[in-house]
A and B are shown apart, each in its own frame.
Chain A
Amino acid sequence: DAGVIQSPRHEVTEMGQEVTLRCKPISGHNSLFWYRQTMMRGLELLIYFNNNVPIDDSGMPEDRFSAKMPNASFSTLKIQPSEPRDSAVYFCASSGGEGRGTEAFFGQGTRLTVV
């Protein structure tokens, strides 16, 4: 298996533009997570899905952020409009457990820079 695949690896955009980050989880995994990593706040869980359904989005910073999982093999994290403070590394992860007590496998991340 190729692991969790994220695209793009790097994204530089201007403030106000829409940004879409993409993730392909490991085949067969039924949970998907979006994390954000910054110097100040470390690794923050933004949202996670079980069986394509958003379960907890309490970590999503504000309405500018949205995430979708239209099917078991694809998810997007969208920021509209983007702001400089959104600059961070965004990780997608997936796990294959029935719900509780299983490790998450991470992608390589997308470094987002908003100028």
Chain B
Amino acid sequence: GESVGLHLPTLSVQEGDNSIINCAYSNSASDYFIWYKQESGKGPQFIIDIRSNMDKRQGQRVTVLLNKTVKHLSLQIAATQPGDSAVYFCAENLWSSASKIIFGSGTRLSIRP
């Protein structure tokens, strides 16, 4: 697997605390949003998604919030663990472009022991 050493904003969190990663998307027409996690040496991996007719969706230890008014998306990770260390990307699906998925710039999550 491969990844790159991106110069990204970094969020440093104490192990066991909750993490909140934020993302601003660009197109008000987007109707589907996805969070991906990319670990070192691997491709992006799906975490959770949300459609524009919802403002909140919960998964296992993760919650995604969508605020369409300000075009903002957030990912909350509960009880952060060392295995959560990765780069996190939000992505938007442009309705007018069918399957086209556009990625944001990413945030690196670092876990302090």
Residues of A at the B interface (CB closer than 8 Å) are 4, 9-10, 31, 33, 35, 37-39, 42-43, 45, 48, 50, 55-56, 88-89, 91, 93, 95, 97, 99-111
Contact = CB atoms under 8 A, between A and B. Distances in A.
Nearest to A109: B2
* 5 smallest beta-carbon distances between A and B, as pairs: A106-B43, A109-B2, A108-B1, A101-B32, A43-B103
Contacts of B42: 108-109
Contact of B2 (A31, A33, A89, A104): A89
Q: Is the interface of B mostly helix, strand, loop or mixed?
A: loop
28 contacts: A4-B43, A31-B99, A33-B101, A35-B103, A37-B6, A39-B7, A42-B6, A43-B44, A43-B103, A45-B101, A45-B102, A88-B4, A89-B3, A91-B43, A99-B99, A100-B31, A100-B95, A100-B98, A100-B99, A101-B31, A101-B51, A101-B93, A103-B34, A103-B49, A105-B46, A109-B3, A109-B42, A109-B43
B61 interface: no
Contact of A56 (B6, B51, B97): B97
A110 B3 CA distance: 9
B5 interface: yes
A77 to B, nearest CB: 15
Q: Is the interface of A mostly helix, strand, loop or mixed?
A: strand
Interface residues of B, number: 31
Nearest to B32: A101
A45 B100 contact: yes
Interface in B94-113: 95, 97-106
A8 B89 CA distance: 25
Given A101-B31, A106-B43, A111-B2, 4 more contacts: A4-B43, A38-B4, A39-B5, A100-B99
Contact of B45 (A33, A50, A89, A106): A106
A75 B29 CA distance: 30
